[in-house]
């Protein structure tokens, strides 16, 4: 009789233990599902709204809202003060902003920019295969170096930057060495060039901060500044181009007006590859002072809405507004 009672008691204990295990397992499963549900709700409410990506601007002297561009740096040329810095040290692909360096190196190594330069026929096949932007020159054309400078900076002609490189250094590869040497001299520690065009190459990279340094240096040259700030340029007629070629700035062509509050955008160079996104390096004069702005990584293509230019208009506009508030 005692053995049966003891057996029943052990059975009840085992049943209670089993029920506790079942209850604990149920709580664990329920808790797991609740946690997943909560995470799904949080993710749903934090997911970005479909459409162009926006990046919050870092605290800066010039307050701006969110930007389409992944990175941006705004510098006052008067005192070298950085007024806006958003991811300016990030590694980026510079796309056709590369041609800024190509142009200034060409200017420094071709003393007479009125001299004729041959556009070798063999450079066109590779550029065409890469779908590079072209200014409109033909294989075998002989063109003044100054026209090639306008062709490289305004419509971003890849044939122009390659032809200038060959004329200045004998080959594009040797010219790229000059570009990298200049980058080192300027302290562009996050930059390495692999070509003169900005066509994508994993070994061709920079940072927005370095690109701002590059543009500041180039703008000290009067000829570069003249070309960089030109809206349109026409080449002289030739036998092969009897009506010449007219170039338009790829930046100004996307703008209904270059005016910003209390100032104007003086010039700029656009860039784009699939990997780089929309890029822009520009110069503006606002209330008698000059500023440069470099933005990279805006979403879109050259055929879509120019969000890189929208960012520039917003940022330059904030300078004018800030000046107006200080003068109240």
Phi first, then psi: what are they for 194, rounded to 5°? -120, -10
Query: Residue 260: enclosing H or E segment and its boundaries?
Result: strand 259-260
Whether residue 33 sits in one domain with residue 84: no
Cβ(187)–Cβ(217) under 8 Å?
no
The mean predicted confidence, pLDDT, of the chain is: 86
Last residue of some domain: 14, 31, 47? 47
Interval 142-190: pLDDT, tens? 999 999 999 999 999 999 999 999 999 999 999 999 999 999 999 999 9
Sign, Cα dihedral of 60, 63, 69, 73: negative
Domain that holds residue 15: 1-47
Q: Closest Cα to residue 96, out of 167, 162, 143?
A: 162
SS (H, E, C) 199-240: CCCCCCEECHHHHHHHHHHHHCCHHHHHHHCCCEEECCCCCC
For position 2, what pLDDT does the model report? 40
Whether residue 173 is contained in a domain is answered as: yes
Whether residue 98 is contained in a domain is answered as: yes
Whether residue 151 sits in one domain with residue 43: no
Whether residue 82 is contained in a domain is answered as: yes
Percent pLDDT > 70 in the chain is: 80
Interval 178-207: pLDDT, tens? 999 999 999 999 999 999 999 999 999 999
For residues 21 and 32, what is the distance between their CA atoms, to the nearest angstrom? Answer: 16
Whether residue 219 sits in one domain with residue 128: yes
Whether residue 60 is contained in a domain is answered as: no
Beta bridge partners of 281: 269, 294
State how many domains the chain has: 2
Whether residue 299 sits in one domain with residue 153: yes
Cβ(113)–Cβ(105) under 8 Å?
no
- The count of residues in the chain is 328
Interval 110-146: pLDDT, tens? 999 999 999 999 999 999 999 999 999 999 999 999 9
For residues 137 and 247, what is the distance between their CA atoms, to the nearest angstrom? Answer: 11
Query: Residue 316: enclosing H or E segment and its boundaries?
Result: helix 307-326
pTM for the complete prediction? 0.82
Whether residue 179 sits in one domain with residue 77: yes
Whether residue 281 sits in one domain with residue 133: yes
Whether residue 64 is contained in a domain is answered as: no
Residue-wise over 161-195: b if at least 16 C-beta within 10 A, else e?
Answer: bbbbbbbbbeebeebbebbbebbeebebebbbbbb
Whether residue 231 sits in one domain with residue 154: yes
Number of CB atoms found within 10 A of residue 253's CB:
13
Whether residue 53 is contained in a domain is answered as: no
For position 28, what pLDDT does the model report? 45
Whether residue 141 sits in one domain with residue 26: no
Query: Residue 246: enclosing H or E segment and its boundaries?
Result: strand 246-248
Number of CB atoms found within 10 A of residue 304's CB:
11
Average pLDDT over residues 295-322: 93
For residues 231 and 70, what is the distance between their CA atoms, to the nearest angstrom? Answer: 27
Residue 255 CB partners (closer than 8 Å, separation 6+): 265, 306, 309, 313
Average pLDDT over residues 201-223: 98
Cβ(187)–Cβ(213) under 8 Å?
yes
Q: What is the largest CA-CA distance in the chain?
A: 123
Q: Any idea what the CATH number is for the domain that residue 139 is in?
A: 3.40.710.10
Whether residue 23 sits in one domain with residue 81: no
Whether residue 153 sits in one domain with residue 30: no
For tokens 């049943």, the residue is 15
Whether residue 2 is contained in a domain is answered as: yes
Whether residue 38 sits in one domain with residue 75: no
For position 8, what pLDDT does the model report? 53
Sign, Cα dihedral of 95, 91, 218, 175: negative
Whether residue 62 is contained in a domain is answered as: no
> Number of C-alpha atoms within 13 angstroms, CB side, residue 19?
6
Whether residue 156 sits in one domain with residue 28: no
């Amino acid at each position: 009789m005692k053995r049966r009672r003891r057996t029943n008691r052990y059975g009840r204990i085992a049943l209670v233990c089993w029920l506790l295990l079942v209850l604990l397992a149920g709580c664990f499963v329920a808790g797991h599902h609740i946690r997943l549900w909560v995470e799904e709700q949080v993710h749903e409410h934090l997911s970005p709204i479909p459409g162009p990506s926006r990046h919050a601007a870092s605290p800066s002297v010039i307050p701006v809202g969110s930007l389409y561009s992944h990175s941006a740096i705004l510098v006052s040329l008067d005192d070298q003060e950085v007024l806006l810095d958003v991811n300016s040290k990030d590694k980026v692909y510079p796309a056709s902003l590369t041609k800024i360096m190509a142009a200034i190196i060409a200017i420094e190594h071709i003393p007479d920019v009125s001299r004729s330069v041959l556009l070798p026929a063999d450079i066109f096949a590779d550029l065409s295969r890469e779908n590079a932007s072209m200014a409109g020159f033909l294989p075998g054309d002989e063109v003044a170096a100054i026209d090639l400078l306008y062709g490289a900076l305004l419509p971003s002609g890849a044939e122009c930057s390659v032809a200038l490189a060959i004329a200045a250094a004998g080959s594009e590869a040797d010219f790229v060495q000059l570009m990298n040497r200049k980058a080192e001299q300027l302290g562009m520690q996050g930059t390495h060039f692999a070509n003169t065009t900005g066509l994508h190459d994993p070994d061709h990279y920079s940072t927005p901060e370095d690109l701002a340094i590059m543009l500041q240096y180039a703008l000290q040259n009067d000829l570069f500044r003249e070309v960089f700030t030109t809206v349109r340029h026409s080449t002289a007629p030739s036998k092969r181009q009897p009506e010449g070629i007219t170039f338009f700035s790829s930046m100004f062509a996307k703008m209904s007006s270059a005016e910003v509050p209390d100032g104007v955008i003086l010039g700029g160079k656009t860039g784009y590859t699939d990997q780089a996104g929309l890029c822009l390096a520009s110069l503006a004069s606002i209330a008698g002072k000059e500023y440069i702005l470099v933005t990279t990584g805006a979403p879109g293509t050259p055929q879509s809405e120019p969000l890189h230019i929208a960012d520039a208009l917003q940022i330059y506009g904030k300078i004018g507004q800030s000046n107006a508030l200080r003068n109240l």
